[in-house]
Amino acid sequence: MRIVPIGLLYWRDEALARDYARRSSRATHPSPLCLEMCEMWTGAIATIMAESTRAPKPSAKRFSKLDLLHYISSFPYKTITLRDALAIPSRIRPAPEDDVDREAWYWQHHPLLRLIADTQRPGTVSTKTKGFAYTIPPVKQLPSTGYVLDSAVAALYCFFATSTFEDGALLAVNLGDDADTVGAIFAGLAACWYSAEEGDGDRVFWTTRVKSWCEDLVRRDIIDTVAKDLAAMEYEFNL
C-alpha cells in the first residue's frame, strides 16, 4: 500500500516505475509474490495516469474498468497463485473483438468478475447492510487478511464491484480482518481512477461523505504538504 507514490511519480516510464516498485518491496517484502504484485499494481497506476492524461480524440474509446482489468489479467505473471487469482486461464479461448461480447467473456471467465457475480447477485448468502447497495461476501469466498494476495484481491474486488470511491471504500473497510490494509490498497488505486473522472467528480469521488472524511483527517496539513511535494517532484522529473 506504500507503492502508489511510485506510480504517480514515474508514470510516464512504466518500466522504470515497475522496477522501482520491485525494489521498494524487496526492502521489507522480498518474496516473489510480493515483488510481482507490487510491480503489477504500480504498472496499473501508471496506466491509469497515462490514460487519464491523454489528449482525448473524438473517435477514441474511453479507457474503461474493463480495459484496466485486461491490463491486470494480461500481466506476465510468473507466480502461479497470482496468475490463478488475477488472470484468465490459458485454456480459455481468446476474447472476442466486439465490446459487448468481450465484456460478457470477462464476466464468464475472469476469476474476480465471477466472484463478484456470485456474491453480489440477489439471493446470495452474504451480509447485507441497511442503506448500502452492496453485500459483504463470506470470508471463505473473499478473505481479507494481511497476506498480500488476500488483501490485494479483496481491494480489487471492492474496486470492480462498485462504481464510486465511497461505495468501494465502505465495502473494503467492512470486510473485517485486516480491513485497514484492504481499505488503503483500494483507496490508492481508486483515488487515481475516480479523481480523473471529468465532470463526474462530485458524484464518483468527492461525495459529501468523502469530503467529510478528508476534512476529519488527523494532521491533514502533513498529508497536503507531502502531496504537493510529490506533485512538484513529478513535474521536475519530467521537465
pLDDT digits (tens, 9 = 90+) for 138-154: 999 999 999 999 999 99
pLDDT for the residue numbered 147: 95
User: What is the C-alpha to C-alpha distance for residues 208 and 178, in angstroms, rounded to an integer?
Assistant: 26
- Separation of alpha carbons 208 and 202, rounded Å: 8
What is the spatial distance between Cα 41 and Cα 208, in angstroms, rounded to a whole number? 28
Full domain range(s) for residue 119 = 4-237
Instruction: Give the three-class secondary structure for 99.
Output: helix
User: Could you please report the per-residue DSSP string of 205-218?
Assistant: TS-HHHHHHHHT-T
What gap in Å lies between CA 31 and CA 228, rounded to an integer? 33
Give me the average pLDDT of each 10-residue run along the chain (239 residues): 94 97 96 98 97 79 94 98 96 93 97 96 64 90 96 98 96 94 97 80 84 95 96 89
**pLDDT at residue 204, rounded to an integer:** 85
Displacement of CA 3 from its chain's centroid (Å): 12
Strands 135-136 and 127-128: what pairing? antiparallel
**Within a 10 A sphere around the Cβ of 189, how many other Cβ atoms?**
23
How confident is the model at residue 4, as a pLDDT?
Answer: 96
- Per the CB < 8 A criterion, the answer to whether 72 and 44 are in contact is yes
Is 180 annotated in a binding site? The answer is yes
CATH number of the domain enclosing 158: 1.10.4080.10
Domain count within the chain:
1
How far apart CA 74 and CA 166 sit, in angstroms, is: 28
Residue 126: per-residue pLDDT? 57
SS3 19: helix
178 annotated as a binding-site residue:
yes
Tell me the per-residue pLDDT of 117-145, one tens digit each, with 9 for 90 and over: 999 986 565 566 667 889 999 999 999 99
**Whether pTM exceeds 0.85:** yes
Rounded Cα–Cα distance for residues 18 and 46 (Å): 9
Q: What is the pLDDT of residue 132?
A: 85
- Is 224 annotated as a binding-site member? no
Helix (H, G, I), strand (E, B) or coil at 77: coil
- The set of cell numbers assigned to 225 is 504538504
Grouping H, G, I as helix, E, B as strand and the rest as coil, residue 23 is helix
